[in-house]
Structure 1
Amino acid sequence: MWEEFVTRHGAEIERRLNEGDRPLVLINMVGVNLFQGLSLSTRYDSHMELDSAGKRVLLLIHGLLLI
């Protein structure tokens, strides 16, 4: 990860993991490398959201949220 992904998202992910939370991370336009395991990398056109609608999505999946 680089630039905004490190300063904004990376720091938030690290903070939440240290607090015992497991944030939902949504990433599009990510590079995938299968050399010696799975590796994901951001690109110039990548977009990342943390829990953008995570709790709402989980409630919808479980039928607990009425729209």
Structure 2
Amino acid sequence: MARICCIANAGGIDVERVEEVLVRGVEAGVVFVPGSAFFTDEPQRNTLRLSYSTVTPETADEAARRLAVALNAR
């Protein structure tokens, strides 16, 4: 079975920053789910759940560019 999502570590950002990045991502046209919702014991609050079930090779680069914009916006 092919994987359709992954949990990505977003480095040193905290949960408040992840929420801010989510807003910026929506503005940039890319969305994710804060990864902390997918941990049962000790949530890793600096993670993002990325789904790529509908991403084509042609759109993957653009999606990554948009996510980078959201992560780097202050």
Instruction: Tell me the TM-score normalised to structure 2 length.
Output: 0.35
Query: Which structure carries more helix by proportion?
Result: 2
* Bigger Rg, structure 1 or 2: 1
Query: Which structure carries more strand by proportion?
Result: 1
Instruction: Tell me the TM-score normalised to structure 1 length.
Output: 0.37
